[in-house]
Structure 1
Amino acid sequence: MNVIKRQAFLSTIFSYGGVVVGFISQFFLFPTFFDKEEIGLLNVLLSYMYILVQISSLGFNAAGSRFFVNFRDAKHGHRGFLFLGLMVCLSGFLLCSIGVIVLKDWIIASNDKSRLFADNFYFLLPITLATVLFNMFDNYAKNLYDTITGTFLGQFVQRFLILLSLLLVVFNILDFSQYIWFWVLAVSFYVLPMIWKATKLEGFSLKPDFSVMTPHFTRQFTTYSFLTILTGFSSMIILYIDKIMLSKLSSLGDTGVYSTAAFFGSVMGMSLIALNKASTPIIVDSFASNDLDKIKTIYKKSCTTSLIVGCWIFLGIYLNIDNLFEFLPPDFESGKWVIIILSIGKLFDLATGLNGTILALSPYYRYDTYIMVSLIGLTILLNQILIPIYGINGAAIALAVATIYYNGIRYALLWWKLDMQPFTIDIPKVLLIMVLSGLAVSLIPVTGGTKFKTVIDIAYRSTAITALYGVIIYWSKVSPELNTAMRSLWQNITSFGKK
């Protein structure tokens, strides 16, 4: 548990450091120096990329995590794990690349009718390859209990490089057609330090070794990989089909507005992502040793902790939303409701904690595949119906409904199959504290009129939220782990002040 606490804490720090950097880029620089269509293009490229990455990996990363206990042997190079991973993932990428080239005209015709997407279509391939390799080596490191490096590179370094590349546009060194080359480099570079770090971990080897791959184990591994291809593909569809369908049913401009607003929903989920990465190898080992009590403990704590952090961020976003949009061009105003709708869905996601990870790593992983595959049809149908009626708000509603649907079913399945029910009285306590804190801070008069006064208003409103919400959370003792972390942080601050 101490491993989870330490790695989740450090990963969360790096994640939210990346959030600050990403916020500057996504919310200030992109909307100020790029057209909505150009922002939409970059996000559509990323949406296609994440879907292609999931297909290219051919389920290896998920299966590799699930069965790494069979490979783990540092003295023998972890039994050819990396060689097998490279062979599978590069083969998958090659097949995907052929498919992308063959289907290019159909994909382009299905999107915004401007030439922007067509002219930059092939940038999909290098960013997909880089991300496939990054995910594979990050997964290898995670299986060896190093979840920090991948988080630091993926959540902070990548966003920092994007910010640096944006400065070339800010200072009129590049126009958009030149900038996108630097953007591709910034998005892709993180794979190099990830590979370097992997080489430093005990047991690194690229030598082939198929001693583990007996006929029986190969069938197990292949079956799990195939099922998780479907699961992972469904997950990517849920997360990114909204942007793709917006570009098709509406425009790249609306996609740009939607993507800018959707950034806030992703911010809320950072703590759960960090917790997920830190917990996965522990959960795998616990299932292997049939230590279900440890998994139940992790499950309960993940729900409470992630919801506390998510509610704090939601308050900061909701109570500052008008202030934040003061810094955006007027045509981004329509994104306000997108933020609120997606945030509500994300709160439900946070409240159900690591349900997806536990189910996927359990003996009942097939159920997760069925759930996620069913979501493809539901998500596409919802977007197809709601986007023409409500535009970007329709896409947000579709994603929020899908999020509540699959988390609700996962929650019920874990309760039914494994007798794991993580909800305690602490969950409604956290929600009540959020509501009461929000109502109290909303009574503070708004200071506006100039950009400087708006910044001041954001600063003292955010400080009030943090102080009031943090104090109530601490004294309510809903999360002993967070209380310990808060005391440790306070001790470090006070001891630093005495030096």
Structure 2
Amino acid sequence: MGIIQKDALRTTIISYIGMLLGYVNKVLLFVILLSQEEVGLINLILSLSLLFAQFSNLGSINSTWKFFPYLFNPKRKHYGFLSLNLIIALVGVILFSLVFILFKDSISVYFESRSSRFVQYYYWVIPVGSFMVIFKLLENYLRGLYKNVFAVVANDFILRIVTTIILLFYALAWFDFHILVVLICLSQAIPVVLLIGYMIYLNEWHVSLKSISIPKKFQKIILVYSMYSYMNTLAAILVISLDSIMIAGLIGLADLGVYSIVLYIIRALMIPYAAIMRVSSPIVAQYWKDRDMVKMNELYKRVSSVTLFIGLFLFLGTWVSIDEIFSLLPKGYSFGIPVFLMLMIGRIVDMYMGLNGTILVTSKKYRYDIIFTGSLIVVVYVLNVLFIPKWGISGAALSTTIAYLLYNLLRLFFVWKWYKIHPFKLNQLKVIVLFAIVLVSLIWLDLDLGNMWLTMIANSILVVILFPLVIYVTKMEPEVVEYVDKIIGVVKLKLGKKE
């Protein structure tokens, strides 16, 4: 857990700096400078690009960190593993680019009635999606080298600075909305270029056909795993992208604009979880290689305890000031509050049980995850068709939350049945009970100091005192205490260097 906490804290800090930039971009500049429809258009392009990236990677992304512990050999340039995965990804990009071009008319028809402006930017999905594929592949390769931080700097910090600059130039009327969209699309290449440069600096950019020396038998294992993991991870991306795509097709870009802002707020809250998952995946792969189920079980429980605390704490801190937060946005965004509530419930469950997916897809039973994947896709699609026309973006949020609950429960049961490990600890129940007491108490108190900013500050102080501080002082959950101690240690170290 030491490696995980160390890198997770670093990436969390960097990601939160990036989040502040992202808040300036999406919650302030986007909302101020663009209409809801324009916000929805940009997010639709990015959502479809993410889906294109998932289809075209052909499983190369997950196989990178799954098999890296077995192929790690600097002297032999890791048997050309990077080259093999880049070839697989390139084949996928070419294949699905052709599909996307050939089926343009059929796909465009879906958006023409409610989101007609998207058709003008249809082909931008291909380059943006290609940039996303290469970035994720290189990021996972660096994970295998335990170089987790630079990819976060490139994607969560530098890219957002560039986006801020682009938006500021747009605010100064240096160019119109069309050029803004083009520049935002092209900027997605920046993290890819930076990662390639970083790998060259590390002397890890081994790209040539001659470098591929993986035994043919092992190549077959990698290709089979890539095929299955491709289907598995497709579900996660579909859950993220399908609601946005169906909102655009069924009710329009303006509603998607509101939904996109709510999604951004939630993704910002999930940064610590994402950081922990980012550095946990290669550890899980290593434990499978070592066949060390004792450490796997310990890691499962410890990570789940920390991510449960993080999810509950961040939800608590946000929900008690939710009215004040949304009052900072234009009036048209206020109906995003119930969307936030429903989506966040699903995300907390996902944060708590999230490691079960990593454990399953890196195990020998990874093929079974296709059943869960197929079920998830069907549930999301059917519920969206039923709920979105009836309840709008709240219906999309409800369908996504139900899907997250079912998906994680199925995976949880499967991992327990086959490997007899689970994330549950008695101390976690104590944390949940404390959370419920604090939440009900603060809602009942309904603090209002007459000033929005003072009310938000006071609510935040109360949340910190009543939730994490109580857990820390009473040592209710040792894993949380250790996590907080790590944060305090990093802060003290940084302050000490400045002095």
What range is the shorter-chain TM-score in? over 0.9
2:468 to 467, 470, 494: 470
Match in the other structure for 1:233: 234
The code of the aligned residue for 1:469 comes to F
Per-residue Cα deviation, 1:475-498 (whole angstroms, up to 9, x for no partner): 232443442343454466668489
Any conservation in 2 of the 1:112–1:250 contact (CA below 8 Å)? no
**1:486 equivalenced with 2:484 (yes/no):** yes
Match in the other structure for 1:134: 135
Following superposition, the deviation at residue 80 of structure 1 comes to 0.8
Alignment of 1:114-129 (within 5 A): 114-129=115-130
Task: Describe the shift of the 1:360–1:476 C-alpha distance in structure 2 as closer, same or farther (beyond 3 A).
Answer: farther
**1:259 equivalenced with 2:257 (yes/no):** no
Partner Cα separation in structure 1 for residue 489 and residue 80 of structure 2: 46
Other structure's SS at 1:299 match: helix
Task: Describe the shift of the 1:356–1:447 C-alpha distance in structure 2 as closer, same or farther (beyond 3 A).
Answer: same
The code of the aligned residue for 2:323 comes to D
Partner Cα separation in structure 1 for residue 71 and residue 377 of structure 2: 33
Following superposition, the deviation at residue 51 of structure 1 comes to 1.1
The code of the aligned residue for 1:32 comes to I
**1:220 equivalenced with 2:237 (yes/no):** no
Other structure's SS at 1:205 match: coil
Q: Which runs of 5+ in 1 are unaligned?
A: none
Partner Cα separation in structure 1 for residue 175 and residue 481 of structure 2: 48
Any conservation in 1 of the 2:305–2:480 contact (CA below 8 Å)? no
**1:417 equivalenced with 2:421 (yes/no):** no
Any conservation in 2 of the 1:40–1:253 contact (CA below 8 Å)? yes
Per-residue Cα deviation, 1:153-181 (whole angstroms, up to 9, x for no partner): 22232223222222223333333122112
Per-residue Cα deviation, 1:329-372 (whole angstroms, up to 9, x for no partner): 11111111000000111111122131100110011111212211
Partner Cα separation in structure 2 for residue 319 and residue 387 of structure 1: 27
Per-residue Cα deviation, 1:440-485 (whole angstroms, up to 9, x for no partner): 444263234xxxx323322332233223322112123244344234
Partner Cα separation in structure 1 for residue 257 and residue 327 of structure 2: 17
2:459 to 461, 467, 473: 461
The code of the aligned residue for 1:473 comes to I
Partner Cα separation in structure 2 for residue 148 and residue 439 of structure 1: 38
Any conservation in 1 of the 2:309–2:480 contact (CA below 8 Å)? no
The code of the aligned residue for 1:345 comes to G
The code of the aligned residue for 2:45 comes to L
Task: Describe the shift of the 1:188–1:466 C-alpha distance in structure 2 as closer, same or farther (beyond 3 A).
Answer: farther
Task: Report the more deviating stretch, 163-172 or 189-198.
Answer: 163-172
Per-residue Cα deviation, 1:214-266 (whole angstroms, up to 9, x for no partner): 1x323221211111111122221111100000111111111111111122322
TM-score, reference length from structure 2: 0.94
Match in the other structure for 2:435: 434
Match in the other structure for 2:339: 338
Partner Cα separation in structure 2 for residue 95 and residue 243 of structure 1: 24
Match in the other structure for 1:311: 312
Following superposition, the deviation at residue 10 of structure 1 comes to 1.0
Match in the other structure for 2:404: 403
Following superposition, the deviation at residue 110 of structure 1 comes to 0.8
Match in the other structure for 1:177: 178
The code of the aligned residue for 2:108 comes to I
Match in the other structure for 2:300: 299
**1:394 equivalenced with 2:392 (yes/no):** no
Other structure's SS at 2:283 match: helix
Match in the other structure for 2:149: 148
Partner Cα separation in structure 2 for residue 152 and residue 479 of structure 1: 31
Any conservation in 2 of the 1:112–1:252 contact (CA below 8 Å)? no
TM-score, reference length from structure 1: 0.94
**1:211 equivalenced with 2:216 (yes/no):** no
* Equivalences, count: 494
Following superposition, the deviation at residue 202 of structure 1 comes to 5.1
Any conservation in 1 of the 2:301–2:423 contact (CA below 8 Å)? yes
Any conservation in 2 of the 1:74–1:202 contact (CA below 8 Å)? no
Partner Cα separation in structure 2 for residue 9 and residue 478 of structure 1: 22
Any conservation in 1 of the 2:305–2:352 contact (CA below 8 Å)? yes
Any conservation in 2 of the 1:11–1:151 contact (CA below 8 Å)? yes
Other structure's SS at 1:67 match: helix
Match in the other structure for 2:249: 248
RMSD (Å) for aligned C-alpha atoms? 2.0
